[in-house]
A and B are shown apart, each in its own frame.
Chain A
Amino acid sequence: MSGPQALTVRNLSIEFGGVHAVEDVSFEVQPGEIFAIIGPNGAGKSTIFNLISRFYEPTAGSIDYGEHDLLKLPAHRVVHTGIGRTFQNIELFEQATMLQNLLIGRHRHMVANPFSNFLFAPGVRKSELEHRRKVEDIIDLLEIAQYRDERIADLSYGARRNVELARALCAEPTLLLLDEPSSGLNSEETDDVSFWLEDIRHDLGVTLVMVEHDMNLVGSVADRVMAINDGKLIAIGTPDEIRQNAEVQHAYLGVAA
């Protein structure tokens, strides 16, 4: 698996029973970039993520990550190209401990052979220990060691967000899709998120694509921003350009009298 590559989305469209959730959207994310997607509720931001993750089948368009044509892959193979993700509503494994969650994050690097696992062959223990070391690196990076043996169901909302980010990082992605990383966090926690995003880019060399509502966060970390409304692309540019864009203001604030 090579390093970060460009994510190229061309003319992407999807319809749900006549509703054009995403219509003819094209954009490209450069390796090492922090790319934000903004737009009002229901604009189709998360739908774009779910299309990239292959949870939805697009009605038209193409998605390529480097030389991988994502549309040829089933959903569980997407992470093998190096694309990890988090979810808007936090999808953790609730009844498992944080450690177990992070170990499942390593799944794409593991060999799950039921027979050797049943016998817990020596190789299984060796690989478990190796993966545990990788997991501990991520735990150190995000400073979540205190939750290691906690069940997810017992964790606070903010902690869950961090754990979900950690779990996505455990897969060692080269591109990370973050669905509203700061939603439900207080301003202090949101500041932490912006530092982590910078760290993740610098230390781990991960390209970041995020859906985000908090324009302060977007302004402070994003290199480029894409604004969409009603499934259609409005503008792509630097955070300042997007703030000034008349159409974006229109989409958020409504028609000027």
Chain B
Amino acid sequence: MQYLFKTHYNDDIRFLAKTGEKIRVGLVILAMIAAPLVLQDYYLAELGLLFVYVIAGVGLMILTGYTGQVSFGHAAFLGIGAYSHSILMANGVPFTLSLIMTVILSGLIGMAIGRSASKMHGFYLAIATLAFGILIETVFGEWSSLTGGYAGLAVPGLKVFGISLTAAWQQYAVDLVIALAVIWGVSNLFRSPTGRSFVAVRDSEVSARSLGVNVEWVKIQAFGVSAAVTGLAGVLLAHHLTYLAPDVFSVLESLKLLLMIVVGGLGSILGAIFGAIFISLLPVALSFLKDVLPPAIGQQAGLEPLLFGSIIVLFIVFEPLGINGRWQKIRFFFETFPYYRKSSFVRQKSYLKTERLR
């Protein structure tokens, strides 16, 4: 068991305080950098797609996991990112500029949604974001002069600073660099005043207000940052899909994002990463299941949504903190071996929250 002896306030600001954490994270990053040397193109593309989902998950995590505002329409921002980037690039805007413009555009749309959502709670917010998601999907379909409608839209090739990146490892590198940058930036956000005000709004709006946090503005900001990050994921996703169709960004995709962060573990960036890994492995498991199960069940339409739903329910019942929560427990088990007890993570029942102000 390692006891962390803190000698400076910086020890609490640092991301990775313990040696074990540094080694683990270092090894993972090294492995990711080395991956193109060992993996075939197909798996490299899959891994790149995983990074895209990590970014999207982090984006939704900012809003739902950290600020406590649920969104059932986050695929819309993924779509806004993908479409706007493809359209801009098709009109000759270079990659980097198009990426920046797209991120700003998604951020602004997110803030506009946040403006109207900032007065809503719970159910109403869920329904409003769901409606937004469906609305945007319809816009993609109907605005055919711009988006190509239901026929779809071809995504221009990946070209950074005038250099065409056609090899799988090159696209992988772009995904990896951007994913790492996003994880670093968002982690920064949550060790500074902005992120803390997000968490404050999640845990108690009244006391946040009494401490000088402008709750409405924080929600607008949270929607903005979240949408910008998800839009960025959309940009990278477009290059993976190479062909955009409205139904890619349907409600099911939004649910998938939500499933990702719930299963991964709300309120942590690691949760978004675990969730993305889970969601990437799910289709593999699903195709395996389809082979194993009797055709009457295996070929049944709606097997996928059923599975999504049951997984969410099972996690909420048995491990509300998600894969990340389980990971923390396993870590704690080894770090404190042999002192771990079944009750180590059982929370004492909190007093009743009566007369809570909204």
* Interface positions of A (Cβ within 8 A of B): 50, 53, 55, 74-80, 84-85, 87-96, 99-100, 103-105, 107-108, 110-114, 117-120, 124-125, 128-129, 132-133, 153-154, 157, 167, 171, 184
Contact = CB atoms under 8 A, between A and B. Distances in A.
17 contacts: A55-B209, A79-B211, A88-B355, A89-B351, A91-B210, A92-B204, A94-B204, A95-B202, A104-B211, A104-B213, A108-B212, A110-B193, A112-B193, A112-B197, A128-B192, A133-B9, A171-B211
Contacts of B194: 112-114, 117-118
Given A96-B199, A118-B189, 14 more contacts: A77-B212, A87-B206, A89-B353, A94-B203, A95-B199, A95-B202, A104-B211, A107-B193, A107-B213, A112-B192, A114-B194, A119-B188, A125-B13, A128-B9
Nearest to A87: B207
Nearest to A95: B203
B184 to A, nearest CB: 9
A85 B210 CA distance: 7
A75 B357 CA distance: 13
A99 to B, nearest CB: 7
A124 B12 CA distance: 14
Given A108-B211, A128-B192, A132-B9, A118 B186 contact: yes
Interface string B195-237: 1110110111011111111110000010011000000000000
Contact of A111 (B186, B193, B356): B193
A105 B212 CA distance: 8
Contacts of A89: 351, 353-356
Nearest to A103: B196
B100 to A, nearest CB: 13
Contacts of A99: 12
A2 to B, nearest CB: 18
Shortest 10 CB-CB contacts between residues of A and residues of B = A108-B212, A93-B203, A91-B207, A120-B188, A117-B192, A112-B193, A79-B212, A110-B193, A117-B194, A91-B204
A124 B188 CA distance: 10
Most chain-A Cβ atoms within 10 A of its Cβ — which of B10, B196, B350?
B196
Contacts of B203: 92-96
A118 B185 contact: yes
Contacts of B196: 96, 100, 103-104, 107
B348 interface: yes
Contacts of A93: 199-200, 202-204, 207-208
Given A89-B355, A93-B204, A107 B211 contact: yes
A76 B212 contact: yes
Given A103-B196, A107-B200, A117-B188, A153 B355 contact: no
B193 A75 contact: no
A189 B321 CA distance: 34
B341 interface: no
A139 B283 CA distance: 51
Contacts of B186: 118
B191 interface: yes
Nearest to A135: B9
A104 B200 contact: yes
Contacts of B200: 93, 96, 104, 107
Given A95-B199, A114-B221, A117-B188, A78 B12 contact: no
Contacts of A50: 357
Interface in B278-314: none
A107 B212 contact: yes
B210 A120 contact: no
A117 B221 CA distance: 13
A119 B185 contact: yes
B246 interface: no
A88 B197 CA distance: 22
B114 interface: no
Contacts of B357: 50, 55, 91
A125 B224 CA distance: 24
B199 to A, nearest CB: 6
Nearest to B350: A153
A91 B206 contact: yes
Given A92-B207, A93-B199, A154-B347, A129 B9 contact: yes
A108 B221 CA distance: 17
B264 interface: no
B207 A132 contact: no
A76 B215 CA distance: 8
A77 B315 CA distance: 40
B161 to A, nearest CB: 22
Interface in B1-38: 9-10, 12-13
Contacts of B202: 93, 95
A92 B200 CA distance: 9
B267 interface: yes
A221 B189 CA distance: 43
Given A89-B355, A96-B203, A118-B185, A75 B209 contact: yes
Contacts of A111: 193
Given A120-B188, A153-B350, A84 B210 contact: yes
